[in-house]
Amino acid sequence: MKKFLGFVLVAVLVLGLVATSAFAADLKVGKAEWAAHGTKCFTIAFVVLEGDTIVRAIIDEYQFLPKAEVTGVPNSEIENGLAADFANPDRVLASKRLNSDYYSNNMAKAGSTVSILDNFTAIENYVVGKTVAELESILNSNSKEAMVDAVTGATLVDTDGYLWAILAAAKNAN
C-alpha cells in the first residue's frame, strides 16, 4: 500500500510539474521604453503574452516632478546617488503611477476628469485579449485622435502613444 501511495504521489507531482511547465512555456514577457507623451517624460510598458495574445499589460511614465511634493524613484533624493546627475536638485524623477494623485491634480487643472492611473488602467484593459497583429492593425488603421475615442475610459490625448508602447513591448516578447 505504501508503494502504491508513493507511486500516486510521485505521479501527481510529475503531472503537476509537466502541466505547470507547459503553461509557463507559452507565456512571454516583453518590455519597451517609449516616448508616448511629449519630450519631457518617458513611458515603460510591460506585456505578458500567451502565444500571440496579450493577457496583461502595464504602463508607467516617468517625469521630473517637484521633489517636495512627490515620491521619486529609488536613490533620486540621495545627493551622491542618482540625484547627483539631476540638473535641478528641487526635482526628482518620479513615476506618474506612483504619484497618481499629484499628477492627476495637475491634469484636473487642465480640465481632466479622469486620473492618470484610471487612464493607464483603461488602456491596459483595452489591449487584453488582442493579438499583437490585431493591435498593430488597429493602430495602423486609426488616427491618433481616433484612438482616444476607441479606448473606453481613457481620455488621454496620447492614448495612441501608450498603445504603441504596449505594441513595442509585445513585439519585444517574441
* 3-state DSSP of 39-79: CCEEEEEEEEEECCEEEEEEEEEEEEEECCCCCECCCCCCC
* Structural domain contains residue 69: yes
Least confident of 88-92, 103-107, 127-131, 132-136: 88-92
| pLDDT at residue 66 in the model | 95
Instruction: Taking residues 105-130, report their average pLDDT.
Output: 96
* Structural domain contains residue 148: yes
* Structural domain contains residue 9: no
Domain range for 81 is: 27-173
* Structural domain contains residue 107: yes
More confident residue, 39 or 20: 39
Per the CB < 8 A criterion, the answer to whether 96 and 116 are in contact is: yes
* Structural domain contains residue 15: no
* Structural domain contains residue 21: no
* Structural domain contains residue 5: no
pLDDT bin (cut points 50, 70, 90) of residue 13 is very low
Instruction: Taking residues 1-29, report their average pLDDT.
Output: 53
Instruction: Taking residues 152-167, report their average pLDDT.
Output: 95
Count of structural domains, the chain: 1
C-alpha–C-alpha distance, residues 101 and 73, integer Å: 16
More confident residue, 22 or 30: 30
Q: How far is CA 104 from CA 53, 109, 123, 152, 156, in A?
A: 31, 9, 16, 18, 11
* Structural domain contains residue 14: no
Percent of the chain whose predicted confidence (pLDDT) is above 70: 86
More confident residue, 11 or 28: 28
